[in-house]
Amino acid sequence: MKFTAENNINQKNTCCFSGHRIVKSQDYDNILANLDKILETLYNKGITNFISGGALGFDTLAAESVIKLRSKYSNIRLILALPCKDQACKWNKIQKNQYTKLLGSADEVIYVSESYTPECMHKRNRFMVDNSSAVIVYILSMSSGTAYTTNYALDSGHCRIINVLTGDFED
């Protein structure tokens, strides 16, 4: 695992994730099945870098799916773009253990802010979009951080949006 403040990410070969921290139980199996298909499709189109924000919920599911796919394709890289070094400070023990495993499985960890600020989550989300050509989203509410990130990606003009619930690709 490499900790860095540098940005050597090739946007063309990179996809990021944005989704809610709470994954509805009725969506869980569909998300996992669609993630597997979407990640495989993107890999076959040349995407080898995947950026997760490392948050609870969808970010973690997505990162774990990348780790699973990496066992099949060794050139896949999992990059964690974290909002701050103390992101998990208020999480419970089980969540912190899962987070520690995720950190250990990442090829690179980037902290966009040293410590928590009111802006650090948006800063992390913009960093992920700015360095990606595709964004896989799990979006249920248009008044959320995920909605903000999805709209930012759409406005960027360079990101393909992929809805994980449907598997639909939007250009």
The tens digit of pLDDT for each residue in 97-143 reads 999 999 999 999 999 999 999 899 999 999 999 999 999 999 887 77
Q: Helix axis angle, 25-44 relative to 58-70, nearest 10°?
A: 40
Q: Is the pLDDT of residue 171 over 60?
A: no
CATH architecture of 2-170: 3-Layer(aba) Sandwich (3.40)
Sign for the pseudo-dihedral over CA of 126, 3, 64, 89: negative
pLDDT at 5: 52
DSSP-assigned letter for residue 77: E
Grade residue 21 by pLDDT with cuts at 50, 70 and 90. confident
Q: Kindly report, residue by residue over 71-80, the tens digit of the pLDDT.
A: 999 999 999 9
CB-count burial class (<10 Å; 0-12, 13-18, 19+) for 128: buried
Average pLDDT over residues 48-54: 97
Closest CA to 17 of 154, 149, 165, 169: 149
Question: What are the extents of the domains in the chain?
Answer: 2-170
> If residue 109 lies in a helix (H) or strand (E), which one and from where to where?
strand 108-111
Grade residue 167 by pLDDT with cuts at 50, 70 and 90. confident
